[in-house]
Amino acid sequence: MSANLQLMPDPQQIRQDLLDVEEVAKRLKVSPQWVRDHATRRHPKLPCVRLGSLIRFQPRVVDEFIEQQAQAAPWRRRRAKAS
């Protein structure tokens, strides 16, 4: 057997690990509508897996999204308008 052979993850395990919209919303502390909106855009900010009309998310991808947002947050903060 080749040393470069990589085993693919078990598809059944991947399906069991997928998160639904409500679970992702709880993880991100946002509304389910926010999750749907950011996952179904033409250029989604939150990558998802579509299963017919269902939207599911890989936990690893959600964690990566959180990390990316945490790293970008200081640069995106807006100054409060002076009154």
Q: How do residues 13-28 score in pLDDT, each as one tens digit?
A: 555 689 999 999 999 9
Residue 37 lies in a domain: yes
Outline where the chain has alpha helix (H). Answer: 11-17, 21-28, 32-39, 59-76
Residue 81 lies in a domain: no
pLDDT of 73 above 90:
no
Residue 23 lies in a domain: yes
The domain tally of the chain equals 1
Global pTM exceeds 0.95: no
Predicted local distance difference test score (pLDDT) of residue 44: 86
Residue 15 lies in a domain: yes
Q: How do residues 51-68 score in pLDDT, each as one tens digit?
A: 888 999 999 999 999 998
CB 45 within 8 A of CB 72: no
Residue 4 lies in a domain: no
Residue 72 lies in a domain: no
Rounded mean pLDDT, 5-14: 58
Residue 17 lies in a domain: yes
62 phi and psi, to 5 degrees? -65, -45
User: Could you list the residue range(s) of the whole structural domain that residue 50 is in?
Assistant: 11-66
Q: In this predicted structure, which of 11-15, 30-34, 66-70 has the lowest mean pLDDT?
A: 11-15
